[in-house]
Chain A
Amino acid sequence: MKSTLVISLNTFREIIRDRILYGLVVFAILLISVSMLLGQLSFAEQIRISMNLGLTAIHLGTVVLSVFVGSTLVTKEIDKKTIMTILARPISRTQFILGKALGLSLVNLVVMSGLSVVLAGVLYFLGADLKPIFLLALVGILLEGMLLLGITLLFSTFSTSIMVVTFTMGVFLIGHWLESMQFFAEKSETVSFIFFQQLISRVFPDLEVFNWRAHAVYSDRVSAEEITYAGLYAFGWFILTIVLTSLIMRKKDFA
């Protein structure tokens, strides 16, 4: 447990000291500023537009961080051979993977909190009345980031960084299409399409489960059941992918 924590804190430090992170933060802040400007254009929907764009910026930032940084998280250690001296220490490969994953999740949490404070400030300035559902939308983003990170790590055990990013972004896009596909499948009569939809929805994670951004914008309610389900869903996927990743890592020769 202690080793996992030590690894995760060091991973946190690794990412914080990397310039990539700052590029991403600048990008997200730019998007939030743009959202504020766009909000200014329309009088009626000002706050909604700003909140929507701002949450989208945070969502994309978290996804990019999880997928892009996640794809190099372990592969870089293997390529640069820094993993050798770590694994020669009293630490199991599972603990190592878990530590790396927790480190990036911690960065996600910190970066997102920072951006959220900025967005909340902007919205407050525009005169918005922020409700707890705003916070829930952020939690949803974090859960999705965690799920995607698990998938990224699993892919990175048998593929190169670029392919990992491609695959995981594929999972990301499909994950957000699943519900619309289901909508069309219910209306459709084409057997092959229905079969395809069924297949896809059983293999890929449904990422709309975590999407409470529209709820936040329109101040809709989200049931406790949905929140619990989303939490279990994210942790289930995360644990599954981390377990598979460490099973693969255990068999690996580091030569």
Chain B
Amino acid sequence: MFHLKRNPAYMSLYKLICIGFLYEVPDMDSLPVGLAGKGELYFNGGMSVLKVVDLKKSYRTGFFLTSTEVLKGVSFELEPGTITGFLGGNGAGKTTTMKCLLGLCFPDSGQIEYFGKPGMSSEVKSKIGFLPERPYFYDYLTGEEFLLFYGQLSTNLSRSALKSRISDLLKRVDLSHAKSRLLRGYSKGMLQKVGLAQALIHDPEFVILDEPMSGLDPDGRHSMAQLIEETARQGRSVFFSSHLLHDAQQLCKNLVILAGGQVVYEGATESFLLDMDSGIEVTCFSNGKLERHNFQNNEGVQNFLRTALNEGKVVQAVQPVRRSLEQAFVDKALRAGDRS
């Protein structure tokens, strides 16, 4: 029949459990983070929302687990209350950087500082909203249940307060009509929108969006852009990655551009574009043929124009060459590629 087993195996089992408990108690989330209350952060100019220093990350892949360095020392800093675009080609390392920022994957080295303090904690996480690259959500929930679930996970608001916040948000993302439908029946754009609502449900101070515009139709892109702008206007900081450089150009005050796991540009969008001005182009007709000439400075243009007019050429246009962000970006990325 039954014997009470007091053998050493069980003693060691219970010891292990105790060790486990000891290890558990100083949880990462209980580490102190002496952050001041909300609101203060918006106005303490100078203190960055996020500071990343020399982030490195390698993945081991393949049969022989060969290591590939995906992030090769990424450093940048974000200004509070602004929209910063995070640009880079496919595989540049944008998503990887964002995952490191959120504690979803662990960098090999480097530092991440939120609101002026190093390290991740529950308190910091409760101030961050995140929309992942592709909206993978629980498809067995309705839109409203989904938002309620995330709200309960990240705020202490009462159920009724959350519900009214949810109906506000759903109105803002234009999904009120679908709130009692299962996410399984949402279209990609609808998922993207409910995903944004999810990222904003707890009124975060800092929002990280991984390609929020991808998969949206022009209307959807426009309303997403408006939502992002509105969020920033309320004093939030937004950091979003995108392939749609046009949108970034319009929305972002600052840019961080990544190429091959390295930051190739960090600063104002405006000066990036100016930096990329490549002189003046003169278009003229001579002998029935269209000619284009490029000049780096005004003197060159003056001299050319004088002779051109004397030679009887018809000058059609004189204009500064202002390449789009897209072109500038391709150039930058290509140049960085050459360097490495």
Contact present for B105 and A90 (CB under 8 Å): no
**Interface hits, A51-93 → B, CB 8 Å:** 80-82, 84-92
Q: A14-B138, A226-B2, A247-B23 are in contact. Are A88 and B102 (CB under 8 A)?
A: yes
Q: Is residue B136 within 8 Å, beta carbon to beta carbon, of the partner chain?
A: yes
Interface window among B6-14, B48-56, B262-270: B6-14
Contact present for B4 and A85 (CB under 8 Å): no
Contact present for A88 and B9 (CB under 8 Å): no
Interface window among A113-121, A133-141, A160-168, A236-244: A236-244
Contact present for B136 and A81 (CB under 8 Å): yes
**Among the interface residues A209, A236, A251, which one has the most CB atoms of the partner chain B within 10 A?**
A236
Contact present for A255 and B96 (CB under 8 Å): yes
**Interface hits, A196-255 → B, CB 8 Å:** 201-202, 206, 209, 225-226, 229, 236-237, 239-240, 243-244, 246-247, 250-251, 253-255
B4 CB contacts on chain A under 8 angstroms? 225, 229
Q: Is residue A38 within 8 Å, beta carbon to beta carbon, of the partner chain?
A: no
Q: A90-B153, A91-B122 are in contact. Are A253 and B138 (CB under 8 A)?
A: no
Alpha-carbon separation in the docked complex, A56 to B45 (Å): 68
Q: Is residue B106 within 8 Å, beta carbon to beta carbon, of the partner chain?
A: yes
Q: A94-B24, A243-B20, A247-B20 are in contact. Are A89 and B153 (CB under 8 A)?
A: yes
Contact present for B21 and A236 (CB under 8 Å): no
Q: Is residue B28 within 8 Å, beta carbon to beta carbon, of the partner chain?
A: yes
Query: Whole-angstrom distance from the CB of A6 to the nearest CB of chain B?
Result: 5
Interface size class of A (residues with CB under 8 A): 35 or more
Q: Is residue B76 within 8 Å, beta carbon to beta carbon, of the partner chain?
A: no
Interface size class of B (residues with CB under 8 A): 35 or more
Contact present for B132 and A202 (CB under 8 Å): no
Q: Is residue A17 within 8 Å, beta carbon to beta carbon, of the partner chain?
A: yes
Alpha-carbon separation in the docked complex, A206 to B13 (Å): 14
Contact present for B99 and A255 (CB under 8 Å): yes
Q: Is residue B27 within 8 Å, beta carbon to beta carbon, of the partner chain?
A: yes
Q: A84-B104, A85-B198, A90-B122 are in contact. Are A243 and B150 (CB under 8 A)?
A: no
Q: Could you mark each residue 6-44 of chain A with 1 if its beta carbon is under 8 Å from any beta carbon of chain B, else 0?
A: 110010011001100000000000000000000000000
Q: Is residue A3 within 8 Å, beta carbon to beta carbon, of the partner chain?
A: yes
Q: Could you mark each residue 120-141 of chain B with 1 if its beta carbon is under 8 Å from any beta carbon of chain A, else 0?
A: 0011011010101010111011
Query: Whole-angstrom distance from the CB of A18 to the nearest CB of chain B?
Result: 7
Chain B interface residues (CB < 8 Å from chain A)? 2, 4-5, 7, 9-10, 13-14, 16-17, 20-21, 23-24, 27-29, 59, 96, 99, 102-106, 122-123, 125-126, 128, 130, 132, 134, 136-138, 140-141, 145, 149-150, 152-154, 156, 195, 198
12 extra A-B contacts, CB within 8 A, seeds A7-B153, A91-B125: A10-B149, A88-B130, A89-B154, A90-B126, A91-B122, A225-B4, A226-B2, A236-B17, A237-B13, A253-B106, A254-B99, A254-B104
Q: Which 10 A-B pairs have the closest CB atoms?
A: A243-B20, A90-B122, A253-B105, A202-B9, A81-B136, A88-B130, A90-B125, A90-B126, A254-B104, A89-B153
Chain A interface residues (CB < 8 Å from chain B)? 2-3, 6-7, 10, 13-14, 17-18, 80-82, 84-92, 94, 201-202, 206, 209, 225-226, 229, 236-237, 239-240, 243-244, 246-247, 250-251, 253-255
